Amino acid sequence: MQHKVIDIKDVVIRFAGDSGDGMQLTGTLFADTSALYGNEISTFPDYPAEIRAPHGTISGVSGFQVHIGSEGVNTPGDFCDVLVAMNPAALKANVKWAKPTATIIIDTDTFDEQGLKKAGFTTDDPITELHIEDRNVICAQITSLTKESLKDSGLDPKSIVRSKNMFTLGMCFFMFNRPLEYINAYLEKKFSKKPHLIEPNKKVLFDGYNYASNIHAIANTYEVAPAKQEKGIYRNINGNQATAWGLIAAAEKSGLQLFCGSYPITPATAILEELAIHKNLNVKTMQAEDEIAGICTAIGAAYAGDFAVTSTSGPGLSLKSEALGLAMITELPLVVIDVQRSGPSTGIPTKTEQTDLAQALYGRNGECPVCIVAAHSPSNCFDAAFNAGKLALEHMMPVILMSEGFIANGSEPWKIPSMADFPAIKPPFIESCEGGFKPFERDPETFVRKWAVPGKKGLNHRVGGLEKNPAGVISSDPENHARMVAARAEKIARVAECIPEQKVIGAAEGDVLVVGWGGTFGHLFTAVNELAAEGHKVSLAHFDYINPLPKNTAEIFAKFKKIIVCELNSGQFADYLRARLPQFSYLQYNKVQGQPFIVKEVVDAIREIL
């Protein structure tokens, strides 16, 4: 067979296996080495809720999709060019994500009677049963080959079998002409604390590489050239890590200690974990006894003068609702991060959705608006967290930062910024005052109150959940209550003066304005670009600031014939826009499947209204 190296712009690879097969690691390694090579990347981990779901079953299948390319990689890709399936269940669950032209690699050692039965196959020929006879299916005895490769490694049998993911990775490296020096250096660094694992990992990976080269079943290998990137230092970053770092950055810029009180919850836990590592950067973390204690310890820390944050996901935000109201009425700075997941209730906890927006907007008792910002990509979580911190600290208010599982776990290369390029954060501290401190006296421009931190002489005051007058004295006077409710709302409305104007991607006027927010950016951007390239007058307005809305929003909307709001819920942002800007009519494209958009479906939806 003639072997050809074909240059391609981008390629999508999906690694799928049992949740114990190390597919997340395999995918991450492939992504990291591709990023080191200079490709653009975008990743999408798609894993089950159970740590070790029943072995070999569909429910236990864990997937990791990597999109690499030399340009235009904005999403992890809709469908894959290569599917690696480590067992029958992985094949069955993921074949729908494979392009008709895809190459499929399977570990035939796992395709025995028992494995096929567990995956729900009714015949002993899964290829025919799945109607993929015409695909390029590469059947490799990956488990046996791995055992053979490592028989003299000194590793125990369990560790040897576990290394089959590295064999597979080696095969993929061959297919995509990945330079092996990157993986060599990478493995040496990764296992620097377990040096006895370096050589076995290298060996099994190279054996996989050579195996793929020798079997001649892979007709073509592919070259994905490095991207033309801006000069600078780069790293890979996922959304949760970027969020944690953005918070640390805001603490540094404000000169305050960062306090994080949180309770573990998927998919937000990694934020608390990441912050817990960086105690050297003036960070205190507390794993609280529950979600409520998470936010309440943070509120206490805010009262004491810290930059306080609490991270959670939808069900945790529900539990924090009452305390969030307390932070709002006491006008203390606080960032609440909601890494959204599929709901309601426990829902599908490892899957992504944008279904908490209504909760964030309205989910509290009383008149209780809060500022809401959203992150739109893994690396953008850094800026979004920084901005959320700046707004909270300078406006003395809680801010909800909306993230979502898709960008929280997904990763992409990030050109590392310099902190010198970020603005200062100046909280409205008060050092002293004459005649007694009045906690709810406001700046006439911004409506922001002063922050008097315990320990400051002469500023003793009381705050609390009861309605107060501007002097801080409890008041149930009807007129005072009305004034305080209006003032607190006005304070948030005036944040619009401090946030950037909304940008339009594409022409400033046209036939269709696609409106989105949060982690759908990559898909919507790609869809709009595709249609614009065909000559359609389609633009995108993707919102990072939800409450308040940027002040030019109506101006933008007025310049398009149709507006379509695309979101991973049943229309929560659309409903909000209808309430805020009722002069426009809004079409919707929604998906509530616990899965991100597919570019094609968005393109089709827009095409339908063109």
Partner 1 sequence: MKYTAQDFKSNQEVRWCPGCGDHAVLAALQRALPQVSEDLGYELEKFVVVSGIGCSSRLPYYMNTYGFHSIHGRATAISTGIKVANPELCVWQACGDGDALAIGGNHFIHAIRRNVDLNIVLFNNQIYGLTKGQYSPTSKFGTITKTSPYGTVENPFTPGMLVLGAHGTFFARGIDNDLALNQSIFITAAKHKGTSVCEMLTNCVIFNDGAHAAFAARENRAEHTITLRDGQKMLFGANNDKGLILKDGKLAVAKIGEDGVTLDDILTHHTDSDDIGLQSMLIDMKYPDMPVALGVIRDVKDKTYDINVQDQVNDVTAKAKVHCVDDLLRSGSTWEVK
Residues that bind partner 1 (CB under 8 A): 32, 35-36, 38, 186, 189, 229-236, 245, 248-249, 252, 257, 259, 261, 278-284, 286, 288-290, 292-293, 296-306, 308, 322-323, 325-326, 330, 416-419, 454-466, 473-474
Least gap, CB of 323 to partner 1 (angstroms): 6
Min CB(238)–partner 1 separation in Å: 13
CA separation (Å) from 504 to 63, 107, 378, 380, 557?
34, 47, 21, 17, 10
| Residue with Cβ nearer partner 1 (77 or 325) | 325
Tokens 């050109």 sit at which residue? Answer: 415
Which helix H or strand E contains 401, and what residues bound it?
A: strand 398-404
Q: Which of 211, 202, 162, 175 has its CA nearest to residue 13?
A: 175
**Minimum separation from the CB atom of position 40 to partner 1 (A):** 11
Minimum CB distance to partner 1, residue 551 (Å): 31
Least spacing, CB of residue 439 vs partner 1, in Å: 11
Instruction: Compute the radius of gyration of the chain from its Cα atoms.
Output: 26
| CA separation for the pair 246, 125 (Å, rounded) | 51
Q: For residues 48 and 413, which CB has a smaller minimum distance to partner 1 in the complex?
A: 413
> Which segments of 80-164 are extended strands (E)?
80-85, 98-107, 136-140
Interacting residues of 148 by C-beta distance below 8 A, sequence separation 6+: none
Please say whether the beta carbons of 447 and 491 come within 8 A: yes
Q: What is the three-class DSSP state of 4?
A: strand
Q: How far is the CB of 228 from partner 1 (least distance, A)?
A: 9
Burial (CB < 10 A; 0-12, 13-18, 19+), residue 249, is buried
* 566 and 605 Cβ atoms separated by less than 8 Å: yes
User: By the 8 A CB rule, do 252 and 206 touch?
Assistant: no
Query: What are the two backbone dihedrals, phi and then psi, of residue 531, each rounded to the nearest 5 degrees?
Result: -70, -40
Task: Give the C-alpha distances (Å, rounded to integers) separating 190 from 33, 184, 574.
Answer: 12, 10, 45
Q: How far is the CB of 428 from partner 1 (least distance, A)?
A: 17
Q: Report the nearest approach of partner 1 to the CB of residue 432 (Å).
A: 11
Nearer to partner 1, 284 or 562 (CB): 284
- By beta-carbon proximity to partner 1, the closer residue of 218 and 272 is 272
As a whole number of angstroms, the distance between CA 526 and CA 514 comes to 12
Q: How far apart are CA 258 and CA 598, in angstroms?
A: 38
Decide whether 58 or 319 has the Cβ nearer to partner 1.
Answer: 319
301 vs 393 by CB, closer to partner 1? 301
The pair of structure tokens assigned to 580 is 């805020």
**Toward partner 1, which CB reaches closer, 32 or 78?**
32
Closer CB to partner 1, 173 or 543, in the complex: 173
Task: Compare residues 66 and 140 and give the one whose CB is closer to partner 1.
Answer: 66
Rounded to a whole number of angstroms, the minimum distance from the CB of residue 454 to partner 1 is 4
Element (H, E) at 334: strand 334-340
Pick the closer one to partner 1 by CB: 96 or 231.
Answer: 231
Closest CB 188 distance from partner 1, rounded Å: 12
Name the residue nearer to partner 1 (CB basis): 91 or 452: 452
Rounded Cα distance between 250 and 422, Å, is: 9
Six-digit token string for 300: 């206490």
Beta carbon of residue 315, minimum distance to partner 1 (angstroms, whole number): 17
In 3D, which of 62, 26, 67 has the Cα closest to residue 43?
67
Which residue do the tokens 């400033």 mark?
A: 508
Peptide bond into 344 cis (omega under 30): yes
- Comparing CB distances to partner 1, the nearer of 30 and 545 is 30
Provide the minimum distance between the beta carbon of 300 and partner 1 in the complex, in angstroms, as a whole number. Answer: 2
HSE of 488, CA atoms in CB hemisphere, 13 A: 26
